[in-house]
Each structure stands twice: as C-alpha cells, then as structure tokens.
C-alpha cells in the first residue's frame, strides 16, 4: 500500500479506496480513522508557524523500505509480491548501484495517533527511517536534516526502536535548539529478547515472511539477511541488566540458532553502548501486562526462554525503564501501544502540559503467580504464540509479528490480563459506580424491604392493583386516559368512557380497602388491562424511537466510554452527577449516539457530539443528576435533531409497582443494549421518595441510562446497582467472597441484586426553581432549562411520549463550516407535541435482551 500521508487522509475522507483500506485496517479502525480525517477536513486551516511540530518515529519494521536505483523506487518492505520472489535479500547487503531508503510509514499502528494530534492542534507527521541500520547513525542523520531545514522546538514520539533513534537525535542536540521534548513508547532502552527469538527461529516475523517467500525457509532469511542488521543486533539485552548472559558474546549462542557473526556482535555492542542515556526532555510510556520473554539461557540445541507477565509482549518492563526519567505505565501489546486511546490522550496531555492523568505513574502490582517465570523452549514458544499459521499474511502488519499491530482500543476498558492486587489511584473518568453511591443504595434497598415484600405478595396473589395507594392509582389511570386520547385521531369512545369512570372510582375508594366491592375491583382491573393492551401495540416502534435519544458518554480525546446519557430537550443531555461532576469534566467529554450493532451485526461507528457546558451545565449531588448542553452538529456532520429527545414528565402515574420497566444503556461504556421487560418496579420508598427500586440487567457504564415504562415514558434516571452483602453488611462478589475494592476497582466481580434510579417526577420538581437560580447567580442556561420544563408540561398534557423537534436547524450549517454557536438551537416557542406516527417503518439496529419477569426479585448480576 504505497500511499503518502496526504493521500491516505484524502481517501479516508472521500471513501475512494474504502475496500482496500478496510481490508488493511479492519472495519472498526477504518471507521475511526475515517471520522478523524473528516473532522480534520472541517477544521479551519491553521497557520503552520503557530503549530508545534511533532514527529512520530515508527518502531522496527514500521518504515517502508525501497531500493532506489537510477531514480526509480522498488518497494521491498512491505511488498508481498517482492517478498514472494525473494526480494527481501535486496535489503542486505546493498549493491553499489542501489540505495535502500525509507519511503513511507506503515499506517495501521500510527495513523490514529497522528490524526488525533492534528485534531489537537499540532503539526504532526511521520518520520520514517532505515531500521536496518544503527539507531545512533540513523539519529545523527535525521538530526542533521532537521538542522538544515531550520526546525526548532520539535517533539519526537518514538515507538520501540524509534525511541532509540530519538535518543540519538536528542544526544546530538544538547542545547535543545531542535529537539525540545521526547516521548517514547515501549522502547527497549536496555534491549529486548525479540532479536534472540528471531535468530532462534521462534518469532512471528520469520514465520510470516517465510510463509510468503517461496524460495526461502525461515532459517535462510535469518541467516542471509536479518543476522547482519545492526539495527536488530543493537537491541540485544544489555549485559549490565542481565549479567548472567552476555548475548553480544558469540559463545553465548547455542547450536540450533542462527548465530550472528563475531564482527557484527562486536559492532552492535559498541553501538548500543554508545547511546547516551535519556535526559530530562524524555518521558517514557512502558507496557507491563503481557506475557513477555524476560530471560534466555543456553540449552542443548537452542535457547530456553523464560516468560513472565511483566512487559508489553516484546520488551520486558525492566528493560524499558530508565532510572531518573518521568515514566507512565499502560496495558496493551507492544505493536498496539500507539493505537491505544489512553496512550494517545496521555501523549496530547504531555505535549501540552508535561503531565497527564490518563495513565498511572506507579506500576500496578501483580500476583505472585503472575510474577513467577516459566521456562519454554524456542520450538514450544513458537508453537504457543503462533500455532501453525496456516493463513498467509494479508495486511502489512501481519508481516511484522509482534513488532507492529493494527489492533486498537476504542474504549480502552478491557480488563487487564494480569491479576491486579494493587493499583495507582484512579485517573480520568471511570464507568464504575462510586463506592459511596452503591453503599447508600444498599441502605435504601434494605429500608424498602417491607414495601417490596408487599408487592411480591400482591402480584403472586393476582391482586396487582393493590400494590398501589389510591392517589397513585388515580394518577396512573389519568395518565392512561391521556395517552389513549392522544393515540388516535378519533379515540374509541367506549374505552375513554370506561377510563373516565375508572378515574372517578379510584378517586373515591382505596383499592386496598376491604370495602371496595368485588365488582368495582374487577371493573378497574378489566379497564386498566384493556387500556394497557390497547397501547402495547406501539411497544416496539416506540422502543426504536426512544433508543435513538440515548448516547454513550465518552472522553473527548480518546472516545473511551464511561457512562450513558439521553436527550431531554433540543440540545440538552441528562446523565448522572457522578458521571459528569463539573463543567470542567463536561468540557473533557463528548456524547456518541448510534454506537450500536447494525441489523447485519456490523458495528455502527456512531456520531460524536461535543458537550458545551458554557451554554448550560448544572449538577445536583443530592439527586445524582447532571444536565449539559450538546452541540447541534456532530464531528462527522450528523445532526443532533435526528436523535430526537425524551421529555421528562413530572406528573406521577407513569407506571405501577410490579410492572415491567425497560432500560436502554451502554453497559461498561460499550455498545448500546436494551433490556426489554426483564425488570420490574419493586419499590418507591416513602422515606427516600426521590428513588425507585427495580430489578434488571445493568452494569457500571449504565450510569445515566433512562428507565422506561412499557409505554416508553422515562420514569427514572438510573444511577446505581444495589450490591449483595453478607451477614456483616460487607459487599460480596459472585462467588460470595468479600469484595476488595483495590483488586476490583471497577466492580466487575460484585454480585448485584437490584438497581436504583432517581424518579423523574422528583427531578422535574427540583428543576422548576432552577432558571431563577441560574439568573440570580449570573450563570447561563436559564432559557434552556425553561425549555426542558415547557416540553415536560406539553408531553404531560398531550400524552405524547416523545417530542419531535423541527427539522430546520439555523445554526447547523454554520457549525458544519466550523463556526461556534451564538444561540441555542431550540424548538419554536409554543411548539406542539405530536403522538408517534405508528404508520412508519422502522429498523432496530440494537443488541436486544428480551425477557418476561414474573416477580420483582433477581439472582443475577444487574
């Protein structure tokens, strides 16, 4: 794939080479890169002199190498057709009339970082180099080119060997006239065992190449080409760090390996030892969580390797670390480090401020079992890591084994492969429930036991109306009447008349009273049941429309998911206060809608909208509720108005206790999921009348999800799970052991017994006084809050479950052209709500979990 940086960005924006690029990057990474490229295309052009220059130096095998002869370029690395015919031998030794030159970068492991740096305002580009050669020689040559071109205040980002090249460049510029800052990722500052693995014929690179080269075996390629390359040999483990074995000494190499020549090892020792140690311009990012070769000893016919989970899979953690240098730690494999969202976000922070909260500075501790080394032969290592490799390499990264990878972490929330027993303090937003929140939820759950038991008993005895008080049952019947009237142009007069009679009946006599005649009770149950069944035909269609208004709260720089939110008025999102605690946190976040599965099971990339807390941000810790303004146009040009909105209806009566609830959520900050009728409203505690208790399948990351009635009106703002406890009141895990917050900070192992949400009626009651309070404090957003209240009242009066905003968006075209908003985008004053059009055709592009619950208890994680 021989495209320049400019060409690849253009193709990502236009879709011109989509099949080829999807094949190279994979669908998910392609979609992400395409969104980034389009976002860059919408940015106004910046003055080049005002943008700080950042160069990305790829790792070994991350630069394309070509044979240049008579002005013509012949791509060798990575050209499958050239490799097929034995072209790799052109790399060593070079002939007198042929020059080997770096002519590009392998995009998959690095393009995401470059595009995000560009969006962050930096002039970022790749700096490919000839990785066959000594890093010291390469660094000196690159520095000379920069000096000749007049560069200054340059930031170098070096992955793997690229970090060694950056060390040489910085060492040649002690006065910092050119290089002002260096960040390295997985750099083998004291070597790596990857060169030994290659020359022991156990590395994936050799197997990939040999699988394509029809005329060569893995041993041929290692013997004829790779063992001669200074760039590879200078990355052998430092004898000072591994005093038990000197790999620069020929005698250390056993039979069965491809032994480097003595002269090559002597030169490599001198080259590696000649690199000056990093200075205070450097920051290191080190991987720690992968199975990594950390030692090797001579065996009878080859090396016997020692493996520990203490590195990035290629570079041992201690061989990457350099004392006295600022250092951060990350999970992830060596080849994918520069694709990780947390690493990219940390890099942007470090360039801008010199520090970051996206990565810990203290290496997480691991269990004794994980720290124990395991010996394995070269042959077994090859079999364990790569199997038979029957599939030939397809993408560029397939040829480079573990050195390069197109893997990426869009959410960066995968659990660590290591058993963690202690971590650094939490950094950045988390999808986990705060411990104080879940403990308070448990206390309230215990206090609602009598009410919950009563609901269970009444439902079991087929007396569903007796779960409610007369006032709430009257409110429920009134709400049914309003909805039935709104559902048809000419409502059935029989049903309307019966419901009006039911309203009068519930206002006169309590259904819990023994004095209620059996005939009246039977009438109430019949007419309420008929009305509920009448409205149920719109269940799925309403679900589709409602789900479109639910989005995933993500970090602004990395798009890592950590919560859920939903639109409650034009351009206004609601979530939990523990998800967005302040305007500052909101500025660092965005919301992503339509991040879900398509009907063909492909993952939709979604549309990312920036949050705009300077127009409106308000949070209540008491109600664990936050509202914030949202940009009307997404980074990819999509309109927020297409997502609709879910009015907050302040009146009670939207649901009865014992009835099913439905939840639309982004569990663990991942794709959208819907729980249909698998949860029951089990309690509305009187002592804590702002909360509702319900069963259901939610997980951390679902914080801020809307909880719906069967008619898809929002009844609660989900904010916490209720944990199981033992006899001592301690939170327990799924295996009934006491939960340890240090070992499981995200609460993945907690056993959940129920859920708790904040009642919408209480939120609306709280918001009623907010406009005046905002104006009194001189804070923005009072008019936006009035729109929330206006739409709430209209939805309450009209019976419509959802508000359809106008299709016009006067501010959207300006947004697409890069302008910032001057006024909120709001529905016209006095706009009427219309009931859902039940004649439309809809498609459900969601992952659905459908079940029927018969009792308000659950014994599964929630």
pLDDT reported for residue 211? 76
The angle, 0 to 180 degrees and rounded to 10, between the axes of the packed helices 518-536 and 470-487 is 40
Residue 106 contacts by C-beta under 8 Å, 6 or more apart in sequence? 58, 61, 62, 63, 64, 78, 396, 397, 400, 404
Peptide bond into 437 cis (omega under 30): no
CA angle, 433 as apex, 431 and 438 as ends, to 5°?
Answer: 170
Question: Of the candidates 263, 434, 411, 275, which has an alpha carbon nearest to the alpha carbon of residue 345?
Answer: 411
The two three-digit tokens of residue 664, written as one number: 């639309």
pLDDT reported for residue 45? 56
pLDDT reported for residue 142? 96
Residue 429 contacts by C-beta under 8 Å, 6 or more apart in sequence? 553, 555, 560, 562, 563, 579, 585, 588, 589
The two three-digit tokens of residue 619, written as one number: 């949070």
The angle, 0 to 180 degrees and rounded to 10, between the axes of the packed helices 5-14 and 18-25 is 110
Task: Note whether 437 and 719 are within 8 A (CB).
Answer: yes
pLDDT reported for residue 560? 82
Evaluated on CA atoms 28, 31, 37, 42, the torsion sign reads negative
pLDDT reported for residue 189? 96
Domain boundaries, the chain: 46-422, 456-537, 541-850
DSSP assignment of 602-657, as one string?
PBP--EEEEB-TTT-EEEETTTTEEEEEB-SB-TTS-BGGGG-B-----SS-S--T
3-state secondary structure of 98: coil
Question: Of the candidates 184, 235, 244, 225, which has an alpha carbon nearest to the alpha carbon of residue 57?
Answer: 184
φ, ψ of residue 404 in degrees (nearest 5): -130, 155
SS (H, E, C) 831-851: CCCCCCCCCCCCCCCCEEEEC
Can you list the positions of beta strands (E) in 704-766?
Answer: 706-708, 714-723, 752-759
CA pair distance 452, 683, nearest whole angstrom = 6
Q: Is 46-422 CATH 1.20.1510?
A: no
- Which residues in the chain land under pLDDT 70? 1, 43-50, 94-96, 364-374, 379-395, 400-402, 404-432, 487-495, 499, 502-503, 505-538, 599-603, 677-678, 687-688, 696-701, 799-862
CA pair distance 539, 544, nearest whole angstrom = 9
Strands 374-377 vs 303-309: parallel, antiparallel or unpaired: antiparallel
pLDDT reported for residue 388? 41
Chain position carrying tokens 């090559």: 264
What CATH class does 541-850 carry? mainly beta
Task: Note whether 550 and 672 are within 8 A (CB).
Answer: yes
The two three-digit tokens of residue 93, written as one number: 């030794």
Question: Of the candidates 562, 565, 561, which has an alpha carbon nearest to the alpha carbon of residue 551?
Answer: 565
CA pair distance 746, 731, nearest whole angstrom = 14
CA pair distance 681, 684, nearest whole angstrom = 8
Task: Note whether 572 and 784 are within 8 A (CB).
Answer: yes
The two three-digit tokens of residue 411, written as one number: 């959410």
Instruction: Let me know if 148 is exposed, middle or buried by CB neighbors in 10 A (0-12, 13-18, 19+).
Output: exposed
């Amino acid at each position: 794939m021989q495209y320049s940086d400019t060409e690849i960005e253009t193709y990502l924006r236009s879709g011109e080479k989509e099949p080829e690029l999807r094949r190279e990057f994979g669908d998910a990474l392609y979609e992400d890169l395409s969104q980034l490229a389009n976002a860059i295309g919408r940015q106004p052009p910046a003055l080049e002199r005002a943008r700080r220059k950042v160069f990305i130096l790829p790792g070994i095998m991350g630069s394309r190498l070509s044979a240049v002869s008579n002005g013509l370029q012949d791509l060798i690395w990575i050209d499958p057709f050239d490799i097929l015919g034995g072209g790799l031998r052109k790399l060593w030794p070079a002939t007198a009339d042929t020059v080997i030159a770096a002519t590009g970068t392998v995009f998959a492991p690095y393009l995401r970082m470059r595009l995000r740096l560009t969006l962050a305002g930096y002039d970022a580009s790749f700096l490919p180099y000839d990785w066959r050669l000594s890093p010291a020689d390469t660094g000196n040559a690159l520095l000379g080119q920069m000096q000749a071109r007049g560069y200054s205040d340059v930031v170098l980002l070096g992955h793997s060997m690229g970090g060694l090249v950056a060390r040489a460049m910085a060492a040649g510029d002690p006065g910092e006239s050119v290089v002002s800052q260096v960040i390295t990722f997985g750099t083998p500052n004291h070597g790596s065992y990857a060169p030994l693995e290659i020359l022991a014929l156990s590395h994936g690179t050799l197997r990939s190449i040999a699988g394509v080269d029809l005329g060569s075996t893995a041993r041929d390629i290692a013997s004829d080409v790779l063992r001669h390359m200074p760039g590879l040999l200078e990355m052998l483990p430092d004898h000072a760090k591994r005093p038990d074995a000197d790999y620069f000494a020929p005698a250390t190499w056993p039979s069965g390996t491809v032994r480097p020549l003595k002269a090559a090892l002597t030169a490599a020792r001198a080259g590696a030892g000649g690199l000056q140690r990093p200075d205070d311009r450097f920051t290191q990012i080190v991987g720690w969580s992968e199975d990594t070769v950390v030692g090797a000893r001579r065996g009878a016919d080859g090396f016997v390797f020692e493996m520990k989970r203490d590195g990035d899979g290629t570079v041992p953690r201690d061989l990457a670390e350099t004392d006295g240098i600022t250092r951060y730690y990350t999970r992830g494999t060596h080849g994918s480090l520069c694709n990780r969202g947390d690493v990219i976000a940390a890099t942007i922070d470090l360039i801008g401020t010199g520090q970051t909260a996206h990565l810990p500075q203290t290496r997480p501790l691991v269990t004794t079992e994980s720290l124990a080394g395991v010996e394995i032969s070269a042959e077994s290592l090859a079999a364990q890591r790569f199997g038979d490799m029957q599939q030939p390499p397809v993408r560029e990264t397939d040829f480079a084994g573990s050195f390069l990878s197109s893997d990426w972490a869009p959410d960066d929330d995968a659990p660590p492969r290591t058993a963690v027993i202690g971590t650094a303090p939490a950094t950045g937003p988390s999808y986990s429930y705060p411990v104080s929140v879940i403990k308070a939820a448990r206390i309230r759950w215990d206090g609602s036991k009598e009410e919950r038991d009563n609901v269970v008993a009444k439902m079991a005895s087929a007396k569903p109306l007796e779960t409610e008080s007369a006032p709430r049952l009257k409110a429920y019947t009134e709400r049914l009447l309003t909805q039935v009237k709104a559902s048809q142009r000419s409502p059935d007069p029989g049903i309307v008349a019966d419901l009006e009679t039911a309203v009068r009946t519930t206002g006169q006599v309590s259904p819990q009273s023994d004095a209620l005649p059996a005939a009246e009770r039977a009438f109430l149950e019949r007419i309420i049941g008929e009305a509920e069944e009448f409205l149920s035909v719109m269940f799925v269609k309403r679900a589709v429309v409602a789900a479109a208004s639910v989005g995933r709260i993500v970090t602004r720089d990395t798009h890592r998911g950590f919560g859920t939110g939903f639109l409650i008025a034009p351009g206004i999102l609601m979530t939990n206060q523990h998800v967005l605690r302040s305007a500052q946190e909101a500025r660092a976040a965005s919301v992503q809608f339509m991040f879900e599965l398509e009907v063909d099971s492909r993952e939709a990339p979604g549309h990312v909208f920036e949050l705009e807390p300077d127009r409106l941000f308000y949070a209540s810790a008491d109600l664990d509720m936050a509202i914030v303004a949202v940009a009307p146009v997404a980074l990819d040009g999509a309109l927020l108005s297409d997502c609709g909105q879910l009015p907050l209806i302040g009146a009670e009566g939207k649901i009865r206790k014992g009835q099913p609830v439905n939840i639309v959520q982004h569990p663990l900050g991942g794709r959208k999921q819907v729980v249909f009728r698998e949860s029951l409203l089990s309690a509305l505690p009187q002592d804590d009348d702002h909360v509702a208790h319900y069963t259901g399948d939610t997980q951390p990351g679902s914080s801020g999800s809307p909880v719906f009635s069967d008619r898809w009106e929002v009844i609660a703002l989900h904010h916490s799970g209720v944990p199981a406890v033992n006899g001592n009141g301690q939170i327990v895990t799924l295996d009934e052991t006491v939960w340890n917050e240090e070992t499981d900070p995200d609460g993945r192992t907690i056993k959940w017994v129920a859920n708790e949400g904040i009642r919408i009626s209480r939120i609306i009651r709280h918001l009623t006084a907010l406009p005046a309070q905002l104006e009194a404090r001189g804070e923005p957003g009072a008019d936006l809050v009035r729109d929330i209240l206006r739409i709430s009242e209209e939805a309450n009066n009209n019976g419509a479950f959802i508000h359809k905003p106008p299709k016009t968006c006067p501010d959207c075209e300006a947004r697409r052209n890069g302008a910032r908003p001057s006024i909120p985008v709001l529905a016209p004053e006095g706009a009427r709500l219309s009931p859902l059009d039940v004649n439309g055709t809809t498609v459900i592009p969601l992952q659905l979990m459908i079940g029927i619950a018969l009792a308000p208890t659950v014994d599964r994680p929630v």
